[in-house]
Amino acid sequence: MTLPYSSPRSFVFYIVPDFTMLAFTSAIEALRLANAVLGKDVYSWRVASADGAPVRASCGLTITPENSVSVERALLLTEKRPSMVVVCSGWNVQNHVNRTAAAWLRESRKRGIELAGVCTGAYILADAHLLEGRRCTIHWENLPVFAENFAGIECHTGLMESDNGIHSCAGGAACFDMMMHIIGRDFGPKLVSAVMDQAMVDRIRAPSERQRMPLTVKLNSLNPKILKAIELMEEHLSDRLPMEEIAAAVCLSRRQVERLFQTELETSPSRYYLQLRLERARLLVTQSAMQIVEIAVACGFVSASHFSKCYRQFHGISPQETRDQRQPSVQMPSLSKAQAADHLHLVQDNQALRQVA
């Protein structure tokens, strides 16, 4: 095998509190196995944190980094500058953005260093203004919060994205897939195949594969037209589509769509649509600092009271009770009654928001 790189490609893994250990180790293990298969160190890596102090992962284990962000920024001017910086984050990512780290990431990119965000790392890259005009992806649980905070950024629901030197993946095992694509780009498919054999992985998933699918899809038994209808619903959670428009988009009548949903998912399409919106609402309640009325708007409800009623019926608990039970990690900004009323008036004036099913 002809190696295109005469010296090791170096990676810096930037870890923030509550990062996902599975994503972090999946990426590093892919590089380690590539070295092992080739019998030489074509990849090297080190770990950094904001201040150089140990960082606790979401699983409770702690990793001690080699460097701080300040040290890494100084190394950009030396031969120890990395080939890629990988941002590893996880829970409560919005609480762990760091201005010094953002400046370092921007300077790294200006110097031609590739960047990657794993699990929720795309949030930190977006906050550093590095994703404007680029495609990205993020873990499905954090997609609603990401979409609300970075509405102008094109965030997809696939496993990974690569766009002009900036990579992102949904986390977990998808990090291994992403690193395999990078290793394949660097050294070709034979090395990828050998690493897969070592890791006992039967295939590397395509970037466009969806992060989540209904159980019936995983079992290869869902009608493609129903899958298309669900995709349309997922794309229009705040600006709900009429069921007739969804039916027309999949070339069926409304009655045919209703029969297919009942047969394959044992529910009505309107009920399934409502469930998707309420699942999005739960994620926004637990993972964002948005006020309840703002969440109602973002999930396509025309009033906070109607939203709270539907939420309680579906989840068995009110939105505020859900928020009160979570870990007290997000600081909640105040919203006046006048501001709340303005939000509702905007919704009521918006023709796209129709009465909830």
Which pLDDT tens digit goes with each residue over 41-62? Answer: 999 999 999 999 999 999 999 9
Q: Is the pLDDT of residue 342 over 80?
A: no
- Residue in the structure block whose two tokens are 């009325």: 293
* pLDDT reported for residue 272: 93
List, in order, residues 6 or more apart from 29 with CB less than 8 Å away: 176, 199
- Tell me: pLDDT of 191 over 90: yes
| CA 356/CA 274 separation, integer angstroms | 8
Residue 93's identity, in one-letter code, is V
pTM: 0.70
Domains of the chain, start order: 9-199 (3.40.50.880), 215-349 (1.10.10.60)
| Beta-sheet strands, E only, within the chain | 9-15, 43-49, 55-56, 62-63, 67-68, 84-88, 114-118, 135-137, 154-156, 160-163, 166-169
Average the pLDDT over 29-36 and give the result.
96
HSE at residue 161, side-chain half, CA atoms within 13 A, is: 24
Cβ neighbours around 200 below 10 Å, total = 6
Return the pLDDT at 270: 94
What tens digit of pLDDT does each residue of 97-148 get?
999 999 999 999 999 999 999 999 999 999 999 999 999 999 988 888 898 8
Return the percentage of the chain with pLDDT > 70, whole number. Answer: 86
